[in-house]
Chains A and B, each alone.
Chain A
Amino acid sequence: MNNPTTEPLWVKWGLLTLALAFLFCFLFIPLIMIFIRAFSEGLGLYWASLRDPEALSAMKLTLYAILVSVPLNTFFGICAAWLITKFQFRGKQLLLSLIDLPFTISPVISGLMFVLLFGSRGFFGPWLIDHGCSIVFHTPGIILVTTFVTFPFVARELIPLMQSQGSDEEIAAMTLGANGWQTFTRVTLPNIQWGLVYGIVLCTARAAGEFGAVSVVSGHIQGLTNTLPLHIEILYNEYNFTAAFAVSSLMVLAALLTLILKQYIEWKTER
């Protein structure tokens, strides 16, 4: 007699095999290939391609972009989340849609907007260049566009969390005589800390990995405006495959670290 609340065993195995086959073909094999190709010419070349001066300067620029965009977006994210979850006001829905906007815009278009704004033939570009401040094809452009692309992450992570927690605890703190800052640091912050960490992790991962938008504003000047993903592209287009895969393997490790952090945060919040 068939049990109608589960599938027969052969169906189970069939579905499991099919799902795993899909994941292997589209996810695991490509990931493994990066490491195989990176080490295909030995450890020596692997280390050499990571210590190449251009790779190092790309790492430095990627780090700069992270160091500027992540704190800015964290500050904005906390402000926006506080505003949206603690108050009722007109235009809230519009604000929410605007926060989501960078998620729905193609990265190429994000880059294009900044070229139109600050490029040598853009709206503010000529004036800025006359005053000795070039943005597009220079480091500030890369930092700016990275900030744009990554700015929803912290806000998006905090808004649902703070919404579900409500503001009873904060109101209680206020009635007990705490001021606004005390209420925020002693009541809200401990409640949202893990959501905040997760938002920052996601924001950092995206800031490090952004390609399309940065590619548009970078002008591909080697050693000056290359982030790690752009460095990978240049190496690959120069048929320097082993080096391209070596640098990629570094970014895969960073992505895996992100996932481990995510698991840790989930484990922390479940307790």
Chain B
Amino acid sequence: MEERLTKFINKKHRLLPGFNLTLGVATTYLGLVVILPLSTLILKTAQMGWGDFVNTVMAPRALAAYKLSLITSLVSAMVNAVFGLLVAWVLVRYQFFGKKIIDACMDIPFALPTAVAGIALCATYSSNGILGSYLYAWGIQSAFSPLGIIIALTFIGMPFVVRTVEPVLKDLDKELEEVAASLGANRAQIIWKVIFPTLLPAWITGFTLAFARALGEYGSIAFISGNMPMKTEIAPLLIMTKLEQYDYAGATAIALVMLGGSFVLLLFINGLQQWKQRRTFNE
């Protein structure tokens, strides 16, 4: 009964016109541009046969690529989590010269083409680069190595943590800290028990977004990794190599594995968002 009532109200609630038109446009467009290509990917893999699929997906070179992709993405997301939190804190809480400009510049990695990021990082971190020459002198190989990949992924994912934590930090009531202080808490206790728990959902969301973005990144890595099989070949690069050898089935199988990973992450992010909403609702 109740369900039927809500249905009735929802139907009635369509006071505004355009439902059929916009529904038609949105579903047609999504069908053509998203669902059709995506189903091709699954169909192509289905043509492959189970044995071939497992052999391609579990080949040592593929396993090395997943492992490298996971480790470099995870490390870069962690670097961004730590420094992104720091940058957001500095940008919200402290006053200094050039703050507005630096705040605006935080979006550069989103606006800059990844290929440009790739060659800019090469110019900085390769053996004759401005920072790379020092790092190489200390024996740190900062380009054409896993470290180079981590550097590029850090650049690409930099805005996520800053941009998710910043608004929460801005909204945080200063009074809360004053109350905690008046109750005898010291600075460390306030940060750890008052500020940090409030930031936690946004911080984890930012970390996960940076991680998800890093997993799929190709443009900048193509320049800085050196693309050595088993050593610096991440999963998207492996797909690209297989495509260049016209091994479409192999490329598709690995793409499907990556896609599965992305979906799991997407579900996790959605879950986080709900958790965040519940938390704010309870407060």
Q: How many whole Å from A269's CB to the nearest CB in chain B?
A: 15
B108 touches A34 (CB 8 A): no
Q: How far is A174 from B113 in the complex, measured between Cα atoms in Å?
A: 44
Chain B residues, CB < 8 A from A89: 10, 19, 23
Which of chain A's residues has its CB closest to B45's CB? Answer: A116
Which of chain A's residues has its CB closest to B238's CB? Answer: A108
A212 touches B158 (CB 8 A): no
- A129 on interface, CB distance cutoff 8 Å: no
A30 touches B255 (CB 8 A): no
- B275 on interface, CB distance cutoff 8 Å: no
B151 touches A26 (CB 8 A): yes
Binds A, one of B25-33, B56-64, B197-205: B25-33
Question: How many positions in chain B have a CB within 8 Å of any CB in the partner chain?
Answer: 92
Q: How far is A258 from B27 in the complex, measured between Cα atoms in Å?
A: 30
Q: Which of B17, B178, B243, B266 contacts A112 (CB 8 A)?
A: B243
Q: How far is A47 from B125 in the complex, measured between Cα atoms in Å?
A: 27
A16 touches B219 (CB 8 A): no
B236 touches A212 (CB 8 A): yes
A26/B216 contact (C-beta < 8 A), A15-B90, A108-B240, A109-B41 known: no
A263/B177 contact (C-beta < 8 A), A106-B216, A109-B259, A236-B223 known: no
Q: Which of B22, B111, B186, B263 is most buried by chain A, counting CB atoms within 10 A of its CB?
A: B111
Chain B residues, CB < 8 A from A27: 105, 108-109, 155, 158
Q: Which of B23, B115, B186 contacts A2 (CB 8 A)?
A: B186
B89 touches A252 (CB 8 A): no
Q: How many whole Å from A207's CB to the nearest CB in chain B?
A: 10
A83 touches B19 (CB 8 A): yes
Chain B residues, CB < 8 A from A34: 116, 119-120, 123
A255/B158 contact (C-beta < 8 A), A30-B124, A108-B239 known: no
Q: How far is A14 from B181 in the complex, measured between Cα atoms in Å?
A: 23
- B54 on interface, CB distance cutoff 8 Å: no
A212 touches B114 (CB 8 A): yes
Chain A residues, CB < 8 A from B154: 26
Q: How far is A117 from B36 in the complex, measured between Cα atoms in Å?
A: 8
Chain B residues, CB < 8 A from A184: 18
- A123 on interface, CB distance cutoff 8 Å: yes
Chain A residues, CB < 8 A from B27: 95
Q: How far is A174 from B13 in the complex, measured between Cα atoms in Å?
A: 13
B115 touches A211 (CB 8 A): yes
- B140 on interface, CB distance cutoff 8 Å: no
Which of chain A's residues has its CB closest to B129's CB? Answer: A33
Chain B residues, CB < 8 A from A232: 113, 115-116, 119
Q: How far is A231 from B139 in the complex, measured between Cα atoms in Å?
A: 33
Chain A residues, CB < 8 A from B102: 20, 23
A112 touches B41 (CB 8 A): yes
- B210 on interface, CB distance cutoff 8 Å: no
A112 touches B239 (CB 8 A): yes
Q: How far is A71 from B89 in the complex, measured between Cα atoms in Å?
A: 38
Which of chain A's residues has its CB closest to B222's CB? Answer: A233
B18 touches A105 (CB 8 A): no
Chain A residues, CB < 8 A from B43: 123
- A37 on interface, CB distance cutoff 8 Å: yes
Give a binary string over B96-111; 1 marks a CB under 8 Å from any A CB, 0 the rest.
1000001011011111
Chain A residues, CB < 8 A from B252: 112, 116
- B38 on interface, CB distance cutoff 8 Å: yes
CB within 8 Å of A: which of B148-166? 151, 154-155, 158
A211 touches B158 (CB 8 A): no
Please name 22 pairs of A and B residues whose Cβ atoms are closer than 8 Å in the assembled complex, sorted by A. A2-B187, A4-B190, A5-B187, A19-B86, A27-B108, A28-B105, A31-B120, A95-B26, A106-B218, A106-B239, A107-B218, A117-B36, A117-B37, A167-B15, A174-B17, A180-B16, A202-B110, A209-B114, A212-B114, A215-B219, A216-B240, A259-B104
Query: Which 7 A-B pairs have CB atoms at the shortest separation, nearest pair first?
Result: A209-B113, A106-B216, A113-B37, A212-B218, A180-B17, A211-B219, A30-B120
For the complex with contacts A89-B10, A205-B111, 17 further pairs of A-B residues with Cβ separation under 8 Å are A15-B90, A19-B90, A29-B131, A34-B123, A76-B25, A97-B266, A98-B34, A105-B259, A106-B217, A106-B258, A112-B252, A113-B40, A121-B248, A216-B243, A244-B119, A245-B123, A259-B111
